[in-house]
């Protein structure tokens, strides 16, 4: 009987500590899930992507190549939350940006508006094809007549490399 009490006295604190760790881990996981739950999925970042994509056109058209590069960089970055919130869909975005969108970035770096406009038009078609394939055929990208952000000087001459890292 004495040995049994000694074993219980030793095991009980270890068991309680272990259950506390399990509870703490569950609490941390709950908090992680709650944070992930409030992060934007695809729709909110895609809205930013759309605005930056449109702004990029007007920047390139007027020779503000740094602004065009900046818009591209942060357009891509806007989708980062989706790597956590939509892990199955995020690779589609990543593949699009690294593949279909690459000619746009190449034209920006070359400061070649003709190549930019051709690539931009092709990307617009690719966007609409992707939207349709993912069940969002009602989302059709068109080139705007004016940039969404009219408080930016699109005519400021700059170099694509002027964008800080």
List, for residues 102-152, the tens digit of each pLDDT value: 999 999 999 999 999 999 999 999 999 999 998 999 999 999 999 999 999
Name the CA radius of gyration of the chain, rounded: 25
Write the CA distances from 67 to 39, 74, 101, 143, integer angstroms: 27, 10, 17, 18
Domain identity same for 25 and 89? no
Domain identity same for 11 and 64? no
Domain identity same for 69 and 141? yes
Reported as a pLDDT band with limits 50, 70 and 90, residue 16 is low
Read off the pTM. 0.79
Q: What's the confidence (pLDDT) of residue 158?
A: 97
Reported as a pLDDT band with limits 50, 70 and 90, residue 19 is low
The number of domains in the chain is: 2
Domain of 78?
A: 43-162
What does the pLDDT look like over 27-66, one tens digit per residue?
898 898 888 888 878 889 999 999 999 999 999 999 999 9
Domain identity same for 31 and 52? no
Domain identity same for 63 and 21? no
Domain identity same for 115 and 153? yes
Domain identity same for 32 and 64? no
Domain identity same for 20 and 93? no
């Amino acid at each position: 009987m004495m040995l049994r009490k000694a074993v219980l006295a030793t095991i009980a604190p270890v068991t309680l500590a272990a259950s506390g760790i399990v509870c703490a881990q569950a609490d941390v996981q709950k908090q992680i899930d709650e944070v992930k739950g409030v992060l934007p999925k695809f729709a909110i970042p895609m809205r930013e992507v759309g605005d930056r994509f449109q702004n990029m056109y007007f920047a390139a058209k007027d020779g503000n190549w740094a602004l065009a590069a900046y818009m591209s960089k942060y357009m891509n970055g806007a989708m980062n939350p989706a790597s956590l919130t939509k892990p199955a869909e995020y690779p589609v975005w990543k593949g699009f940006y690294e593949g279909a969108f690459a000619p746009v970035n190449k034209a920006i770096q070359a400061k070649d508006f003709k190549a930019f406009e051709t690539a931009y038009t092709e990307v617009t078609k690719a966007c609409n094809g992707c939207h349709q394939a993912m069940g969002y055929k009602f989302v059709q990208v068109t080139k705007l007549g004016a940039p969404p952000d009219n408080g930016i000087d699109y005519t400021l001459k700059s170099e694509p490399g002027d964008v800080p890292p």
